[in-house]
Amino acid sequence: MKILVFYIVINTCLTNNSRVVGLLAQLEKISTEPTESDTARYVTSKILHLAQSQEKIRREMTAKGSTGMEVLLSTLENTKDLQTTLNILSILVELVSAGGGRRASFLVAKGGSQILLQLLMNASKESPPNEELMVQIHSILAKIGPKDKKFGVKARINGTLNITLNLVKQNLQNHRLVLPCLQLLRVYSANSVNSVSLGKNGVVELMFKTIGPFSKKNSGLMKVALDTLAALLKSKTNARRAVDRGYVQVLLTIYVDWHRHDNRHRNMLIRKGILQSLKSVTNIKLGRKAFIDANGMKILYNTSQECLAVRTLDPLVNISSLIMRKCFPKNRLPLPTIKSSFHFQLPVIPMTGPVAQLYSLPPEVDDVVDESDDNDDIDLEAENETENEDDLDQNFKNDDIETDINKLKPQQEPGRTIEELKMYEHLFPELVDDFQDYDLISKEPKPLVFEGKVRGPIVVPTAGEEAAGNSGNFRKGVVMKENVSPLGDEGDKKPSFMDLAKEDIKDNDRTLQQPLAPGFTAGMRKDYSLPLTVVTCSKACPHVAACGNVLFEGRTVQLGKLCCTGVEIEDDEDTESASSVEQVSVEVSDGPTLHDSDLYIEIVKNTKSVPEYSEVAYPDYFGHIPPPFKEPILERPYGVQRTKIAQDIERLIHQSDIIDRVVYDLDNPNYIIPEEGDILKFNSKFESGNLRKVIQIRKNEYDLILNSDINSNHYHQWFYFEVSGMRPGVAYRFNIINCEKSNSQFNYGMQPLMYSVQEALNARPWWTRVGTDICYYKNHFSRSSVAAGGQKGKSYYTITFTVNFPHKDDVCYFAYHYPYTYSTLQMHLQKLESAHNPQQIYFRRDVLCETLSGNSCPLVTITAMPESNYYEHICQFRNRPYVFLSARVHPGETNASWVMKGTLEYLMSNSPTAQSLRECYIFKIVPMLNPDGVINGNHRCSLSGEDLNRQWQSPNPDLHPTIYHAKGLLQYLAAVKRLPLVYCDYHGHSRKKNVFMYGCSIKETVWHTNNNASSCDVVEDVGYRTLPKILSHIAPAFCMSSCSFVVEKSKESTARVVVWREIGVQRSYTMESTLCGCDQGKYKGLQIGTRELEEMGAKFCVGLLRLKRLTSPLEYSLPSSLLDFENDLIESSCKVTSPTTYVLDEDEPRFLEEVDYSAESNDELDIELAESADYETSTQEEVLSDSDSSRTYLP
């Protein structure tokens, strides 16, 4: 009767509120009254009924602002009635089961974890504990535990770990109770301290009592037990305990049993759970050894191969591959030393840094591998003291971003005295030349129109003293001249530009009446009196006109072997049967070319290399023109990485199938080249070549090892080598096995490049993207801690690709990217100089300095000739702002040279736009900052063994002459108040697509530190964004969203930051060009070629012309949207996983198939990848061939 009255009261009060709100309100009133237990039981049962039947009710109870959860938890905490407790627990299970993670987090936020753990503790004191209550408590805790970052600590403090463990021990046959208990043990084990504690109390042994051979019964319990075991074995202590008790063999036996009996694959999750446990236990060295001893490699290899036919079993194949790769014994690279095969003695040995360490290593030290590389299991018990939950709460912070405002503010520092900088005066004759002896276009003065305001008096400087003599007599690091004034030392008596710059000249007319020194000749063709040397080879060749057996004076230069063999001539009516190189260049050229094969040979003779190369690679001799077809980014075939990994594992399992024959070796000059006809021949002994050793693995498979940068023990990425002796229709696999970067665009559609000499002789002289089954992955070759910067247990990476050659006995070349040698640059500069119109274009080619090995570093000056030699025109000429450009500081970034080629060709062209650009600016260009590195096939360093783009703060004139003197030019310009408007250093990027820029901004750097208050206080001219914005509108390959203007600590000694901070150039940039291709704009989905790179160089020039118009005081009307950078700031947080800073992060997602099988890894990443992968979508199944059918021909 009492309950009926209560029910009527409840229904009466629900006129305006929902039923559940009324029930909760009533529950709140009676929860503190023990006498109302019947009522509480009734109310909670009604709430449970509503929660089970209506999602709307569940949403209402967990909505923001709702007090329903607090009421339920309060009642749960205070009630002594078992049924009320069970009802509330059932309600909580309903709420969190249907709502996913959000509702579980909501329950945690209301203090649910602590209340439930305490309830578990209290319930355990009953003897015997109520089974239903224990099932409910464990079920709800297992669901909310993962959402509580402090759950592991709370459980341990409340003493609930052993309660759950003992319940399992005492009720092994009661599967209904054991199941939620195991689920909760899995959550407990996420905390390493809990995991060790449970292990000491016998949890590992208990799990092996729970799991067993194939059975159709209790598969759900088996799955949960395996998940729990895998989590427990992540602890090194538990893993060691499992190894000691022989459980690795047990796991393999159980896995094989389930694999054999699970014919319909209904228990894939159980098989996966066994593999996850094996993966956890093999994270330690003992586990890997036990796995090998138990024949685990062969077992998992055979089972995974049997799973390949069923797509749904891919997760098993991938985890098996991961375990096998991790357990694959680490091998040493088959090298005597990881130092370069070539030695160059430095004039000065640095006191500190990697080069100093390299020179200080005793000769008996094995630098290829050391014993500590295979992770020793040390500090096993250290995890007992570790609590890492707090780390999860910390927001990620990029420590590489500079946060010191004082360091960020540009502070012009002269660095060198005025007197020291006078050495650069002769490299700026355009500032003193009066052009009296030039045949200029116009002799009549025209009204002078200045494009901007002239600030202060016009200073007309005169030349300072110039050292006479032949450039060849200069020592390394000394600034030299290549063009000498025909008037000799006539200008020696005049005051120097720098002396005048220091004075406040008030009388312009008086100054202008002084006789001016004519300075250096501009636009004169240089007489290259090189000794005539013909190309030699062992046999006469009818196909290359320059080939012969003639004795000559000077250095021998040889072409490769194809000129001594037959050439397949195509049966084409339009092609002459005996086409010479000259005919080829005529036939394929669609416009003026800068390539001249004979000139190239002459230039090569004067190029100095450490190995003293005497051969010339055919692609450099013939030249390259862009192919007439598009080359799409290659789609990654499904399963390619695991297939390659399986083939690598076969090397261990079927060792008798491995040939293991050295077929090329720079370290052993006496190695015998195999004479068998079916073995490929290799060579890299030519300019920019890089290939150290080749080992034949199988009949058509070769392992290739790259050479380190000279005076270094790493930087392996750039390759350029020759292959011959191939047969058509055969798939050859090449594995470059000592790469170092953690990822590559080879995983995202990039292909290596190949040049066929047969194709070139048949009028197709171009590099093409080739290769199928391409991937880039971590291999089993160990990197020594010496080579890895002190880090232990690191591995090398493999680039693997498969190629079918089109012709028999061809000579083909492979390269990382389109090669561009130092000799090619010198040839291009000479051709530009000889072809330009001296009446229109002011062109100078000087020598900035000599490199360490005695090669000249060219310096180019380009602008428009003055209209006449009258005062107004000379003033306009001298007052043009400077633009300073540089490129190729990193030898492996050959794309930077192709962009620079586009810039140079555009600047020297006859188009009206180019002429306007020349009339706006004076261009100072150092097109190759690292000639020695380029010549000797380095990837990143100069002969000093150092990254020259990290030496700009304090360059050493003896070790870094090109940087020292390039910086000197900029310091000179700053000292004479002629600061460049723009500085840009051209680079290539190996892990991102498109072309983009890095610049420098105080405001954006501070903004990225999440210190918004500080960034609001910074006042900054946002003009640094103008040029990138312009390029994003006019250059198809340019991507503004990839640009960054953040200044990082690790980049403080790069050209971009030093020129901005010390020299004071606001628009100081690094322009990065992709090695792969574009994912936006006109070239979306295409790999980048030399045509697009050269176009980018030309578009950069057009952008400078628009920049001039936008920044001219007379035309300054800039759209606000162009400089509204606040809206362009990247909203995402700056996350970095390596010291390379966030701006170097790949713009690619991690591809699903990626597997980190390194033994040093003990994180969750590979599990997450394996679980999320399930696996690559079926659209990736198609394997694209690398035939012409995959190309789209241009009309």
Contacts of residue 252, Cβ cutoff 8 Å, sequence gap at least 6: 278, 291, 294, 295, 296, 299
Q: Are 707 and 692 in contact (CB under 8 A)?
A: yes
Q: Token pair 């500090």 is at which residue?
A: 379
Q: Are 242 and 204 in contact (CB under 8 A)?
A: yes
Cα–Cα separations (whole angstroms), residue 864 to 523, 838, 846: 11, 9, 17
Closest CA to 358 of 372, 346, 370: 346
Contacts of residue 185, Cβ cutoff 8 Å, sequence gap at least 6: 164, 165, 168, 198, 203, 228, 232
Specify whether 833 is catalytic: no
What secondary structure letter does DSSP report for 1066? S
- Residue 169's identity, in one-letter code, is K
Cα–Cα separations (whole angstroms), residue 1059 to 407, 415, 798, 985: 14, 12, 37, 10
Pairwise CA distance, residues 1132 & 377, whole Å: 38
What secondary structure letter does DSSP report for 951? -
Q: Are 1001 and 1024 in contact (CB under 8 A)?
A: yes
Pairwise CA distance, residues 475 & 468, whole Å: 14
Distant-in-sequence contacts of 16-22, Cβ < 8 A, 24+ apart: 18/57, 18/60, 19/50, 20/47, 20/50, 20/51, 20/57, 20/60, 20/61, 20/68, 21/60, 21/68
Query: How many other β-carbons are positioned within 10 Å of the β-carbon of residue 106?
Result: 21
Could you please report the per-residue DSSP string of 619-675?
A: HHHH-----SEE-BPPPPPTTHHHHHHHHHHHHHHTGGG---EEEEETT-TTPPPP-
- Residue 263's identity, in one-letter code, is N
What's the residue count for the chain? 1195
Report whether the peptide linkage leading into residue 752 is cis, meaning its omega lies within 30 degrees of zero.
no
Could you please report the per-residue DSSP string of 1101-1115?
A: HHHHHHHHHHH-TTS
Pairwise CA distance, residues 859 & 44, whole Å: 86
Q: Are 630 and 1086 in contact (CB under 8 A)?
A: yes
Could you please report the per-residue DSSP string of 505-549?
A: ---HHHHHTSPPP--S--SPPP---PPP--EE-SS--SS-TTEE-
Pairwise CA distance, residues 54 & 68, whole Å: 15
Angle at 663 between CA 660 and CA 669, to 5 degrees: 125
Structure tokens at 505: 């000249």
Structure tokens at 845: 């080619």
Report whether the peptide linkage leading into residue 813 is cis, meaning its omega lies within 30 degrees of zero.
no
Torsion of CA 721, 772, 700, 311, to 10 degrees: 150
Single out the catalytic residue among 430, 466, 759, 1072. Answer: 1072
Pairwise CA distance, residues 546 & 531, whole Å: 15
Q: Are 476 and 958 in contact (CB under 8 A)?
A: yes
Structure tokens at 652: 């261990």
Structure tokens at 898: 């192709």
Pairwise CA distance, residues 238 & 35, whole Å: 50
Q: Token pair 């050493």 is at which residue?
A: 956
Angle at 538 between CA 535 and CA 544, to 5 degrees: 45
Pairwise CA distance, residues 66 & 437, whole Å: 91
- Residue 349's identity, in one-letter code, is I
The dihedral region occupied by 752, where left means phi > 0, alpha psi between -120 and 50, and beta the remainder, is: beta
Catalytic residues: 1072
